[in-house]
Copies of this chain bind each other. A is one copy, B any other.
């Protein structure tokens, strides 16, 4: 599960090749803020492409968001998370996720996942969790130091509950999340050993092949920095954000040779322009001198507008009917509830608990 803040950019065609017919995909997002084009390029576009080809569930991980939010200074943390659940679902539908093909479910409304988490906590040691590089890195990132919330230390276990709860075989992750997959498979093997037969499948990572899409200033795209292009950006906002994009500070005149590496406009073109040959040609011209930032940015504005416009239309159509969104979440969560309860029954049996 990637947090919106961490989703990386991917050439949309790349990772789909790893999905096999019959794969069960679990992915999703922590509802900690609106999704942006980095999420779209990095994962949402892939999910749209995969739906109908694989069984796919998008889990809005509000419980996982609490591992972070409830420890914030303000008690507003959990309240904010709650407001973002529907916002994320709306982003999904706007991006083209079809609830008839993809199950969208809310984690906190699936009690079987909490029950699986509590059972799995017996199958992993504290030392093992502390060695998890993703947990280590995020502890540092979030500044928890010695005062890690127990929920945060245990979140790989919760993630294993999510993945196995849907019998997922394929989990789209960034390469920084690979240790989570390994941790899940360790738990899978221990559960299956306890059961005496394979009751939950091991899973594979569906890795993004392309680098993370940067913020307009070249730094990591982040809600708090305000440097991401929101998926619900207006045409004006797109123009303003592209205008502000970091290019090459040494590229003052169109005729000057410019640098492509670290140039945010090219990062976005790489992610979104379907005409790779044309982008390669532009990079040549830019490097050589003779291509101005203004012309380049006009191309990107048009391109992003083409990406965002249909999302904007779908969003507008949905805005009139909030009950549709709620129905999607309710129906998806009900389907997910049934699936996860089935897995819980099997796992309880493995633990010799009555079913």
Contacts and interface: CB of A to CB of B under 8 A. Distances in A.
A274 to B, nearest CB: 40
A66 B122 CA distance: 7
Contact of A352 (B78, B149, B154): B78
Interface in A59-117: 62-63, 66-67, 70-71, 75, 78-79, 81-82, 106, 108-109, 111-112, 114-115, 117
Interface stretch (A125-133, A213-221, A230-238, A251-259): A125-133
A236 to B, nearest CB: 33
Most chain-B Cβ atoms within 10 A of its Cβ — which of A79, A157, A352?
A352
Contact of A115 (B114, B147, B353): B114
Interface residues of A, number: 48
Contacts of A75: 193-194, 196
Contact of A118 (B114, B125, B152, B351): B114
B158 A108 contact: no
A117 B78 CA distance: 17
A124 interface: yes
A352 B79 contact: yes
Given A81-B352, A193-B75, A150 B146 contact: no
A67 B122 contact: yes
A152 B127 CA distance: 12
Nearest to A115: B114
A125 B108 contact: no
Contacts of A81: 352
A179 interface: no
B109 A126 contact: no
A224 interface: no
Contacts of A194: 70, 75, 78
A256 B285 CA distance: 111
Contacts of A118: 63, 114, 117-118, 151, 158
Nearest to A81: B352
A354 B60 CA distance: 13
A108 B355 CA distance: 10
A152 B126 CA distance: 9
A82 B75 CA distance: 40
A194 B126 CA distance: 28
Interface in A220-252: none
Contacts of A157: 150
A122 B264 CA distance: 38
A63 B115 CA distance: 10
A54 B281 CA distance: 82
A172 B213 CA distance: 57
A345 interface: no
A313 B67 CA distance: 52
A199 interface: no
Contacts of A137: none
Contact of A153 (B79, B115, B126, B147): B126
B82 A121 contact: no
Q: 5 tightest CB-CB pairs across the interface, nearest first? A: A121-B151, A82-B352, A122-B151, A114-B118, A78-B352
21 contacts: A63-B119, A66-B122, A66-B351, A70-B122, A78-B352, A79-B352, A81-B352, A106-B354, A108-B348, A114-B115, A121-B154, A122-B151, A122-B152, A124-B149, A126-B126, A126-B147, A126-B148, A126-B150, A126-B153, A127-B148, A154-B154
